[in-house]
Structure 1
Amino acid sequence: MSVIYLLITISIIVAVLFLYAFIKAVRQGQFDDSYTPSVRVLFDDELKKQENKPQNQNNA
């Protein structure tokens, strides 16, 4: 039974460490994407044409 307590304690410690690393990465801007929005604007019209094209073919 003491092994279960040990494993639960270790798993909680590991989870807290991963949570700390995630929060630290978010605060440092690790997940900020400044490139994709600028490229998405350039190809926005092409994506809309592709989305509308299958709908027009099904209705015709």
Structure 2
Amino acid sequence: MESLYLLIPLSVLIAFAGGALFWWSTRSGQFDDLEGPAHRILQDDDSVAGE
């Protein structure tokens, strides 16, 4: 029973930290373009870097 006094506040803090990280990532634009990188891999680019 005494371990619940530690585990419940700790789980609440972890949940708030996860929510804060998700809020930060959506505000900074991490989820704006989900399909762009996948399409860039498929584009054929034969140019050599540096030329």
Q: Same fold (TM over 0.5)?
A: yes
What's the counterpart of residue 3 of structure 2? Answer: 3
Q: Which consecutive aligned stretches of 4+ in structure 1 deviate over 3 angstroms post-superposition?
A: none
TM-score (norm 2): 0.61
Q: Among all aligned residue pairs of Structure 1 and Structure 2, give the percentage whose two residues are the same amino acid.
A: 38
Give the structure with the larger helix fraction. Answer: 1
User: Which structure's relative contact order is higher, taking Cα pairs within 8 Å and 6+ residues apart?
Assistant: 2
- TM-score, normalising length from structure 1? 0.53
Partner Cα distance (2:9, 2:2) in 1: 11
Q: CA RMSD in A?
A: 1.7
Larger radius of gyration: 1
Q: Secondary structure at the match of 1:2?
A: coil
Looking at structure 2, the residues matched to 4 and 17 of structure 1 have their Cα atoms a distance apart, in angstroms, of: 19
- How many residues matched? 37
